[in-house]
Amino acid sequence: MEMSEADRSAGGLGVFELTDKLRRAAYLENQLIRQSCGWFLRIKKYELRHRIGYHIWTHAEHVKWINERLGFLRGGKSSVSLEPALIRFVEMVINAPNEYAFLRGTYLVLKKSLLRFYQETARDCDPAANAYDLRMINRIIPEIEEQMLWVDQILAEDPNPDVSIQWESSLSVALNSIGGIEATAARNDFVEEPAGYQRFSPPDHLLFDERISDKPLMPHDEKTSLPYEDALVEQFRIFFNEIYAAGILASILYDAFDHDMSAEFIHDFTRHFWDECRHSEFGAVRLKELGQEPDRVNQKLFRNSQSMPLLHKVCYLTLVLEPHYMPRKKPRFREYETAGDARSQLFADHDWSDEINHVRLGKDWLDKLLSDDARSIEQLKDETRAILARLNPDENLTLSPF
């Protein structure tokens, strides 16, 4: 039975009103994953990349919570036809003129509006009827509030704020013109492109500031002959270099939305992506503790991946590269243990555990994705190696340049 106006004035969200709000939120959270993964490849400061990786993972968790809730609601299917004007607005946010403009548009327009949307939804919830929803939203709100505090500090470093402020202002006008996230004023699908609009395209290599060079790392065999302290520095340069793996995953996730991959796929590979961001952060943290600064990334493996179809990228990272490096994990852990280096051992311990799960995850997903395909996983691996051979015709094909 539909609620009367008197019932509505007493507070609380009915099922149909609630599902509409949750589906909008899930759409926006998903777009924040996609667009942030795209800009992850372009943002030049590695510290920003590491933190944005954490934020992307929180959005994936939010989507999972919302989808699980929608599955228990009458009429709660997660796919929905949103107003064309809202979709057009959201799809414009990625087309920022530079990285600081993207951060302003994403955090100070889109996330700020989403935060307000969650806060208003929480205020409308009835403590009994909407108890599940209130609990969920009250978990989400502090995470977005924390992100807003973080971005305020980052935007203070913007070397050209006039450009990013103009972008933020133009997006705010566009969002207001359609009536905000609920698109209450939308009449058609036309939203004027903001000043500074530049159509986004993913780069074929990771962009960095002047501190980071694209140059080789020390080969593994050479590291094993170094004194412990010197070898330790080289090993944590390898950890920092795992930002290339985070880059591969960011490109997988960015493409996954165009290939209509499932919410489960997005969630699982966002977790993998976050792990690789953490591993790179391990390297940055430990190098600084050792009196060094991160100064290099070997992008060869990332560049190889960018010529591959989505399925082969997944195979390349999870079933070709990671198994190749896996035998190094246990000896490195034991080496730190023998040396009494508990700090290095801590990072190696978590890295080893994560990578085991990444290989398992990759095999599980490739089994699913090939379920209606004539190829086997071994054939897919052969195809991936053939792509590598074409990309590197003048080299003896080795998986490890470091």
Residue 402's identity, in one-letter code, is F
Calculate helix-pair angle for 228-241, 263-289, nearest 10 degrees. Answer: 150
Domain spanning 213-391, CATH class: mainly alpha
What percentage of residues in the chain have a pLDDT greater than 70? 93
b/e map of 71-100 (b: 16 or more CB within 10 Å)? eebeebebeeebbebbbbbbebbbbbbbbb
| Average pLDDT, integer, range 362-370 | 96
CA nearest neighbour of 366 among 313, 322, 308, 311 = 311
Residue 395: CA atoms inside 13 Å, Cβ hemisphere, count? 11
Whose CA is closest to 287, among 217, 210, 360, 234?
A: 234
Position 320: which residue type?
V
Residue-level pLDDT at 160:
92
DSSP string, 110-154: IIHHHHHHHHHHHHH--TTTTHHHHHHHHHHHHHHHHHHHHHHHH
Q: Higher pLDDT residue, 84 or 195?
A: 84
- The predicted-structure confidence for 186-201, as pLDDT tens digits, reads as follows 665 566 788 788 999 9
Instruction: Render the burial of 151-188: b for 16+ CB within 10 Å, e for the rest.
Output: beebbeebeeeebbbbbbebbbebbebbebbbbeebee
Among 105, 104, 83, 81, smallest CA distance to 93 is for 105
* Burial status of residue 243 (CB atoms within 10 A of its CB: 0-12, 13-18, 19 or more): buried
CA distances from 300 to 156, 236, 375, 398 (A): 34, 18, 27, 11
How far apart are alpha carbons 284 and 236 in whole angstroms? 8
pLDDT at 184: 85
* 54-78: average pLDDT: 90
pLDDT at residue number 398? 56
pLDDT digits (tens, 9 = 90+) for 111-156: 999 999 999 999 999 999 999 999 999 999 999 999 999 999 999 9
Which run of H or E residues covers position 213? strand 213-214
Nearest-5° Cα angle at 133, 130 to 134? 80
| Per-residue pLDDT band at 396 (split at 50, 70, 90) | low
Reported as a pLDDT band with limits 50, 70 and 90, residue 180 is very high
More confident residue, 193 or 289: 289
Sorting pLDDT into bands at 50, 70 and 90, what band is 9? Answer: very low
Whole-number mean pLDDT of the chain?
A: 92
Distance CA 55, CA 60 (A): 9
Of the candidates 265, 284, 281, the residue with the CA atom closest to the CA atom of residue 367: 265
Type of residue numbered 341: D
Which pLDDT score, from 0 to 100, does residue 393 have?
83
The answer to whether the 5-177 and 213-391 domains have the same CATH topology is yes
Regarding the domain delimited by 5-177, which CATH topology (the fold level of the hierarchy) does it fall under? Ferritin (1.20.1260)
Q: Is the dihedral of CA 312, 201, 250, 284 positive or negative?
A: positive
Could you tell me which residues are beta bridge partners of residue 214?
Answer: 297
pLDDT of residue 3: 45
Q: Which residues contact 129 (CB under 8 A, 6 or more apart)?
A: 12, 13
Domain ranges of the chain: 5-177, 213-391
Would you state the pLDDT for residue 189?
A: 57
Q: Which helix (H) or strand (E) holds 296?
A: strand 296-297
Global pTM value: 0.94
> What Å distances lie between residue 336 and 103, 219, 292, 332, CA to CA?
39, 19, 19, 6
